[in-house]
Structure 1
Amino acid sequence: MILYICSIGSLGAGNSAAYVSNVIINKATLSGTDNGVRIKTWQTSAVQVSNVLYQNIRGTSASNVAMKFDCSQSVPCRQIYLQNVALKAEETKQASSSCANVILSYRGDVSPPCASRS
């Protein structure tokens, strides 16, 4: 079973233009989801994701990577705000995060912190 909660996507298929902005996800509780709160785009230069706030989010992830931002190199995600986010992996697995081509701002406690990669 695949569970999707608060999913926006798939944007930019066939190189079509798409814009996502001014999104607020507030007070979400997630449990054992494959993809909890997410914005999914195709890797094209036609999609811009900006000004998104993830706020007061708690939960568990079915995978070790509890938080992942994998944005386009040519049009990185920007103005992405994480505020009071606490995510854990199910059972005894260690939760991690992965971030590529994203400009993040932290407010309050955020766990797991994003491990940037190019």
Structure 2
Amino acid sequence: VGSLGKYKNEEDVHDVLVKNCTLIGTKNGVRIKTWPDSPPSAATNITFTNIKMENVTNPIIIDQNYCASAKSCRGNKASNVKISQVKFNNIRGTTPTECAVKMHCSPSFPCQNVQVSDINLKYVPVVPTNIVARAISECANIKVAVAGFVIPPLCK
């Protein structure tokens, strides 16, 4: 679900279901992306379930600070897209990057009612090492409800 808030007069996005997918070698897995300084809008009732990831760079990502290039950025203004009622369920697989889950929401409209359950994402470095590699998560301006097992542990 991407590029929300890029253009004026966009419709709200709601009732999206992504299920039973396998992603192999992609840059992004399941993603919600909004532009900064966007017109007010909403993205609600979005569910990602039963997803398998193989070597996916950004397996789970909410990015409300998206900026394709310095020219396309709209200053340091926050996104005005309200994200709520999002579920990430039964997502498993591998990533070549340490940060497997990035949830960076807008300071103006923090993400609400986000539920995460039964996640198992493993960090597999491109260059193998003797050090045990563990995936991490990053979060900003979000409240997350966690159920079941969740790897990597989510910031709260």
Mapped to 2, the partners of 1:72 and 1:14 lie a distance apart of 10
Correspondence for 1:4:
28
Q: Which structure's residues are more often strand, by fraction? A: 1
Runs of 4+ in 1 over 6 A off after TM superposition: none
User: Which of 122, 129, 132 is equivalent to 1:88?
Assistant: 122
CA-to-partner distance for each residue in 1:18-70, whole Å, 9 max, x for gaps? 32110110100011111224333336241111100000100112211111111
Correspondence for 1:24:
47
Question: What is the aligned residue count?
Answer: 115
Deviation of the 1:12 alpha carbon: 3.3
Mapped to 1, the partners of 2:36 and 2:138 lie a distance apart of 23
Correspondence for 2:78:
44
Mapped to 2, the partners of 1:93 and 1:18 lie a distance apart of 39
Deviation of the 1:2 alpha carbon: 5.3
2:122 is the counterpart of 1:99: no
Deviates further, 64-73 or 13-22: 13-22
Contact 2:87–2:116 (8 Å) recurs in 1: yes
Structure of greater Rg: 2
List aligned pairs for 1:43-62, cutoff 5 A. 44-62=78-96
TM superposition score normalised by structure 2? 0.65
TM superposition score normalised by structure 1? 0.83
**Structure 1 residues not aligned, in runs of 5+:** none
2:150 is the counterpart of 1:110: yes
Contact 2:31–2:60 (8 Å) recurs in 1: yes
- Computed over aligned residues only, the root mean square deviation of the Cα atoms, in angstroms, reads 2.1
Contact 2:62–2:105 (8 Å) recurs in 1: no
Mapped to 1, the partners of 2:153 and 2:140 lie a distance apart of 13
Mapped to 2, the partners of 1:99 and 1:71 lie a distance apart of 8
Contact 1:12–1:18 (8 Å) recurs in 2: no
Letter in 2 for 1:35: N
